[in-house]
């Protein structure tokens, strides 16, 4: 379920880039590299970001959600709305991280 930057339209690419600035406060890596962002889709002036957390009991989930909202709202085109869609399936697994994040964390 890896997002591929080149397969996104320019508006979705701006959101993707903004999400690279959102750092998981417990792991210290950005949400894209961790594999926590499952989808970015724009339809009818609504930007939907589908994402998960590292665990259902993530104590920092509210902070992460606020960080996503802040980062994405800065890059949305005028008149566009943000819809955050938190999902738990599929459950996140460290195998979803990009190879660079695994190496930085010593998990390769």
| 78-100 pLDDT, tens digit each | 999 999 999 999 999 999 999 99
Spatial neighbors of 32 by CB under 8 A, at least 6 apart, are: 3, 16, 19, 20, 98
Which range of residues forms the domain containing residue 100? Answer: 5-105
| Strand spans (E) along the chain | 37-43, 46-51, 81-86
The count of domains in the chain is 1
CATH number, domain at 39?
A: 3.30.300.130
pLDDT of residue 82: 98
pLDDT in the model for residue 53 = 96
Q: What is the largest CA-CA distance in the chain?
A: 43
- Tens of pLDDT, residue by residue over 5-52, are 989 999 999 999 999 999 999 999 999 999 999 999 999 999 999 999
Identify the pLDDT of residue 58. Answer: 83
């Amino acid at each position: 379920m890896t997002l591929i930057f080149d397969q996104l339209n320019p508006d979705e690419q701006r959101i993707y880039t903004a999400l690279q600035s959102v750092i998981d406060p417990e792991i210290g890596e950005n949400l894209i590299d961790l594999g926590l962002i499952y989808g970015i889709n724009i339809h009818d002036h609504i930007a939907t970001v589908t994402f998960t957390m590292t665990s259902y009991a993530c104590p920092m989930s509210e902070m992460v959600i606020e960080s996503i909202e802040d980062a994405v709202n800065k890059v949305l085109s005028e008149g566009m709305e943000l819809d955050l869609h938190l999902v738990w399936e599929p459950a996140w697994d460290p195998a979803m991280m990009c190879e660079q994040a695994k190496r930085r964390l010593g998990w390769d």
